[in-house]
Amino acid sequence: MRGRRFPIRPSSPPTEVGRIRRYLRSTVALAILFALLLAYAWNEEIGIGARELFAGDAAVSVRDGDTFLIGKDEFRLSGIDAPEYHQSCTDAAGRPWDCGKQARLKLEALLRAPGLGCTPRARDQFGRAISTCRNEGSADIGEAMVRAGFAISPGGFGDAPYADAEREARAARQGVWQGSFVTPAEWRKANSRLTED
């Protein structure tokens, strides 16, 4: 017995609205996929993702008053600029003192305190993870550096993030504020051969 044949109804051609809907759905799906891939790539590029990193047993190596390594990951404290390692400032009597070396010593002390943890926010042009860090005694190591007068809060877009801490350090004549100094950015410009960045 031969099967009964049913007539095949030709599908109606897609309307303009249907085509637009399919195009929009495809575009949105691709945009979401692209955003997810970018987020994954950013986290992989940072190396430690956007999560908090605890130093634990990893070696901490300090380069200057705002840049350091935990293991092989290089960090720069967010929102501050510290004197460069070779930078000199003057004290209240006009005598030179090694403010860059003292800034590094201060940061070393803060980073070696128990409970060090850092949260990367972005990556700069030198490949460093721009981060906020804390320890058991300080909720924000960058702010502690500014409050001690061993870093300034240069700002950028909008207000300087640690403007209050900087005002306190200046009023108390702490660190670099005890005498005179050029900003770290100006010093780097004039002494580029002595700086890595």
**Residue type at position 67:** T
Which CATH number is 53-194's, of 3.40.50.11720, 2.40.50.90, 3.20.20.70, 3.30.565.10? Answer: 2.40.50.90
Per DSSP, helices labelled H in the chain are 16-46, 99-111, 141-147, 163-171, 184-190
Q: Are 79 and 133 in contact (CB under 8 A)?
A: no
| pLDDT of amino acid 25 | 78
| Sequence spans of domains, the chain | 15-46, 53-194
Paired tokens of 62: 């300090």
pLDDT digit string, tens, across residues 159-174? 578 999 999 999 999 9
Please state which of the ranges 63-67, 91-95, 111-115 shows the lowest mean pLDDT: 111-115
Paired tokens of 26: 């495809």
The answer to pTM > 0.85 is: no
Give strand pairing partners of 89. Answer: 97
- CA 120, distance to chain mean position in Å, is 5
Burial of 158 (0-12, 13-18, 19+ CB in 10 A): exposed
pLDDT digit string, tens, across residues 16-71? 777 777 777 777 666 665 555 544 444 444 443 334 445 555 688 899 999 999 88
Rounded-to-integer distance, Cα 113 and Cα 92, Å = 30
